[in-house]
Structure 1
Amino acid sequence: MQESHTQYHQLKIPVPQEFENVFTYFYYAENRSSDPVTKTLLPSYQTIMLFCFGDNALMTTHEKNTVEVHQCIILGPVRQTFEYTLPAGTSILVANFKDDAFYRFFGKAVVSVHGIHPNEILQDNCFTELWNQISAFPSPEEKTAHILEFCRPYLQDQDEIIRLLSHFNDDALNPVKIIAEQTRRSERTIQQKQKEQLGYSAKEMIRYTRFLKAIKLIEKELEHQKKIEWFNIIDECDYYDQSQLIHDFKHFINLSPSQYLKFQSDICRSGSD
């Protein structure tokens, strides 16, 4: 999927089938204007690795903390919105790690809401070298292909419990309880493994999935230029009432649903499809 404008260019780059359980897709954005451009990134509940090319980009968190991005930063799991500012002539390439892929690569899950350079996690300078290598490629697709090749040798096999959690798709059932019964483990063991390798709890993910479903329904309605039927969205997403829907929007993006519609052109979704 590609969106092209005169001044601001953004692109979602799909990954080959062999990497579909590692990354959702890569997100590329470039500021071609003569002035800085600020956008808001929706939460994805994924850990992201962001490469910056050109002048240093700025990231401002939900709590109004600003981080300067030089070359590369890791952030996540991204639970709430953050703003990013691209100076003139600057571009970013964002890798969205799927499920436990970050753990399989780095050996840990939770990073930081304020971000950290990957060299600090590995205690190695390899990501500075990777940034130098991909900077030489002219297109985001070539940069992405090189990152995938770089990652290939380091990925560990996926844990069976995490695989079951990642593929659990029955909203009416408790995944922790069901998988504990299937694997003859305690629910606490399942919860601990989920927190360790995914970086969030099943309860958090259920709430986020419901919110994301609402966002996708709104986007679908807007594509057809229809009036948003809020009570249909409340019903389809299993919200109790309108106030619960508003509460989730405030929690994840600090906007009401109506404010989200107003500012939607400035909001990007780099993570889940």
Structure 2
Amino acid sequence: MQELHPEYRQLKIPVPKEFESIFTYFYYAENSSPDPVTKTLLPSYQTIMLFCFGENAFMTTQEKNTIEVNQCIVLGPVRQAFDYTLPAGTSILVANFKDDAFYRFFGKAIVTANGTHPNEILHDNCFTELWHQISVFPSPEEKTNHVLEFCRPYLQNQDEIIRLLNQFEDPGLNPIKAIASQTNQSERTIQLKHKTQFGYSSKELIRYNRFLKAITIIEKELIHQKKIEWFSIIDECGYYDQSQLIRDFKHFINLSPSRYLKFQDDICRSGSA
């Protein structure tokens, strides 16, 4: 099957092991065609930092608000899908902060719905200078490596409660209750720390991870050209019924599951693997 945009290039760039607790990976997209290209970016529940090279890129939210991206912007945590448009000759590099990493860099976890230039968070012009530095590197890998080295001095130590939450793996237990009991603190204290440093609640994350598991299963079945077994997905992901699955799809990406399949070629994922 012929690609809809053969001159549109995208790739995911892994990070060195020492940065794996900070970033999932970097996402790069480049439009070498003579026309603008619009794609949909899936929600990641991560805060992202996006660098734009060439003409200004545009992002459109589900509420039809349009955000113009000049040089650099931070958004997040990205709770719902949004469309982004790359004009001809434009490229973007997206850093996906993992878990509490954005808080460890910037001292806050939530930015405005319309995005914020990172200079405004730090009250410093350093990210404008960073954009000029990475603009001269020809490859996305070189750009990524330079961003990693730039970020290294900003990283603060991880809070012990957050470390315990990150390492919690028992799906049968409520992580907030379990960590509260383990540390002899109130559930409210753990909830507030989770919200403050992650930018979202534990309940929100559970719902998103269920949706993400469904998306991952669908992607694997599409790769192997298998028929999508919706009721098997409902059962495996812990949905009560088909209507709950549909509600999650419409909540996160404003598409029904069947329409998600139809528009697969125009949907990208920059965040969680």
Q: Which residue of 2 aligns with 1:196?
A: 196
The residue that corresponds to 1:6 in the other structure is 6
Give the Cα–Cα distance (whole angstroms) in 1 for the partners of residues 271 and 230 of structure 2. 24
Q: What's the CA shift for 1:112? A: 1.7
Secondary structure, aligned partner of 2:45: coil
Matches within 5 A, 1:56-205: 56-205=56-205
Q: Deviations over 1:145-200 (max 9, x none)?
A: 00000001110011111111122222221000000001111100000001110000
For 1:102 and 1:197, how far apart are their aligned partners in 2?
8
AA in 2 matched with 1:223: I
CA distance, structure 2, for counterparts of residue 61 and residue 164 of structure 1 = 34
For structure 1, list consecutive stretches of 5 or more residues without a partner in the other structure.
none
SS in structure 2 at match of 1:206: helix
User: 1: distance between equivalents of 2:181 and 2:103?
Assistant: 25
Which residue of the partner structure matches residue 270 of structure 1?
Answer: 270
CA contact (8 A) 1:78 1:113 kept: no
Using the alignment, how far apart are the partners of 2:196 and 2:55 within structure 1? 35
Distance 1:133 1:220 in 2: 38
The 1-side partners of 2:172 and 2:207 are apart by 13
Say if 1:60 and 1:84, in contact at 8 Å, map to a contact too: yes
Name 1:19's counterpart in structure 2.
19
Distance 1:115 1:264 in 2: 26
Spell out, residue by residue over 1:224-258, the C-alpha distance to the aligned partner (whole angstroms, 9 max, x if none): 10100000000000100000000100100000000
Does 1:28 pair with 2:21?
no
Deviations 1:60-91 (A, max 9, x none): 11211001000000000000001000000000
| Structure 2 counterpart of 1:234, one-letter code | I
SS at match of 1:178: helix
Could you state the TM-score of these two structures normalised by the residue count of structure 2? 0.98
CA displacement at 1:103 relative to structure 2? 0.3
Counting matched residue pairs gives 270
Whether the aligned pair in 2 keeps the contact of 1:106 and 1:122 (CA below 8 Å) is: yes
Q: Do structure 1's residue 252 and structure 2's residue 249 form an aligned pair?
A: no
The structural deviation recorded for 1:113 is 1.8
Give the 3-state SS of the residue equivalent to 2:146 in structure 1. helix
Mapped to 2, the partners of 1:171 and 1:36 lie a distance apart of: 43
Q: CA deviation at 1:264?
A: 0.9
User: Match of 2:129, as an amino acid?
Assistant: E
Distance 2:252 2:167 in 1: 24
Once residues 272 and 11 of structure 1 are traced to their aligned partners in structure 2, the CA distance between those partners, rounded to angstroms, is 14
1:44 alignment partner, SS class: coil
Q: How much has 1:6 moved relative to structure 2?
A: 3.2
- Offset from partner CA, 1:15-43 (integer Å, 9 cap, x none): 00000000000000000100000000000
SS at match of 2:263: helix
Report the residue type matching 1:95 in the other structure: A
Match of 1:54 in 2: 54
Partners in 2 of 1:70 and 1:51 — Cα distance?
A: 8
The alpha carbon displacement at 1:94 in A equals 0.1
SS at match of 1:108: coil
| Alignment TM-score, normalising by the size of structure 1 | 0.98
